[in-house]
Amino acid sequence: MWAIAGLRGGLEHGEPWHHAGRRANKQNVFDDFHSAADWLVAQGMASTAHLGLVGGSNGGLLVGAALTQRPDLARAVWCAVPLLDMVRFPLFHIARLWTDEYGDPDVPEEFGWLLAYSPYHSVDPLPDHPADPSTSYPAVLFTTAEGDTRVDPLHARKMAALLQHASANQRDRPVLLLQAGRAGHGVGKPASMRVAEGVDVLSFLSWQLGPDSM
C-alpha cells in the first residue's frame, strides 16, 4: 500500500493552509506527517515494523525531521536530495532564496524556529557508556547527486555520517548514502539513471520492510 499524506504548508487548500505550515508554523507539517503514519497503524493498514517513509527535496526535510523527532515511527526511510542542516542552508547554492519560506538563521527569532526542528541538529549522539540508553533509528537510505545545484549534496553526506555514528550499534538497520555522479536535483535525469536508482531504492525498502524485518 502506498499512502500520500495531506500536510499543511502546501497550496492545495489556499494561502491559509500554506501559511499554517511555513516559517514559525513549520512544525505543523511534521506533526501532520507523524499523525498520518500513526493513523495508518491505528487503522491496521500498516505496522511500524513494515512502514517506510519516502520524501525528496523539501520532502527530504520532512522525512529527515520525522526520523529524528519520531524514530519509532517507521522501520525504513528513503531521504532523497534532502535539505537537512537548517542552520546553514542559506549559505549554499540558491538556498538564500528560500528564507522567506523557512526563515533566516541570521535573524535570532527565526534561528530559534530553524534550530528547533533542524534534522542535522536533532540527532542523538551515540552514548559514551555502553550501559546508557540510545535512540534506535530506522534504516535510512540517503540519495543525492554530485552536481545538484539546488540542494547541496553536503546535506545528505554530513547527515549520513552523523547518523551512522549515532546508530553504529544497529547492524540490522544501516544508514546508507548513494551519491550519483554527473546528475543534479532530478529534473532532466535520464530514464536509465531513474531506473537504476529505483532498483536500489526498492531493493532497500524490500529488504527492510519484508516479512523478515520483524
Which one, of 202, 194, 161, 212, lies nearest residue 52 by Cα? 202
Q: Let me know if 185 is a catalytic residue.
A: yes
Alpha-carbon torsion, ordered 149, 155, 156, 157, to 10 deg: 100
Task: Round to whole Å and give the CA distance between 31 and 22.
Answer: 13
* CB proximity list for 189: less than 8 A, separation 6 or greater: 183
Catalytic-role residue among 85, 118, 152, 185 = 185
Per-residue pLDDT tens over the stretch 45-77: 999 999 999 999 999 999 999 999 999 999 999
The cell numbers describing 191, all together, are 530514464
Catalytic-role residue among 118, 148, 155, 167 = 148
CB 178 within 8 Å of CB 107: no
Output the pLDDT for position 183: 74
Per-residue pLDDT tens over the stretch 85-135: 999 999 998 999 999 999 999 999 999 999 999 999 999 876 665 556 668
Catalytic-role residue among 57, 122, 134, 213 = 57
Residue with cell 506533526: 31
Output the pLDDT for position 190: 78
Output the pLDDT for position 211: 73
Three-state SS for 22-62 is CHHHCHHHHHHHHHHHHHHHHCCCCCHHHCEEEEECHHHHH
Output the pLDDT for position 168: 85
Query: Other C-beta atoms within 10 Å of 10: how many?
Result: 15
Counted residue by residue, the chain has a size of: 214
Task: Round to whole Å and give the CA distance between 127 and 121.
Answer: 16
Q: What CATH number should be reported for the domain whose range is 47-123+136-213?
A: 3.40.50.1820
Q: Let me know if 148 is a catalytic residue.
A: yes
Per-residue pLDDT tens over the stretch 135-170: 899 999 999 998 888 999 999 999 999 999 998 888
Share of the chain above pLDDT 70, in %: 93
Task: Round to whole Å and give the CA distance between 156 and 161.
Answer: 9
Output the pLDDT for position 182: 73
